Amino acid sequence: MNFPIRPGVLFGRRQLEARALSVWRCAADLVWARWELLRQATPESRATAFAAYVAALDAEAAAAAALADIYPSQAA
């Protein structure tokens, strides 16, 4: 399967899998970083830190869904 990113540039399956996994790992790292910020947030900044954490969770969920689309037989 080829996945066109830009006209004339095709990604093979292995490149697509590697990219999706990399995106998910970055999103998971962001969740961890935002969690740490939330834990250390002052009462005044806690609402903003929580919103950033939830946004990171949403991004990680989207990346996980994209990864599951690549490996449908292994998705739970």
Whether 50 has a pLDDT exceeding 90, the answer reads: yes
- Predicted local confidence at residue 57, as pLDDT: 98
* 18 or 35, which is more confident: 35
Q: Where are the domains of the chain?
A: 23-76
Query: Residue 70 — very low, low, confident or very high, per pLDDT cuts 50/70/90?
Result: confident
Whether 10 has a pLDDT exceeding 70, the answer reads: no
8 Å CB contact between 60 and 30: yes
* Average of per-residue pLDDT values in the chain: 87
- Predicted local confidence at residue 1, as pLDDT: 45
Q: What is this structure's pTM? A: 0.77
d(CA 13, CA 19): 10
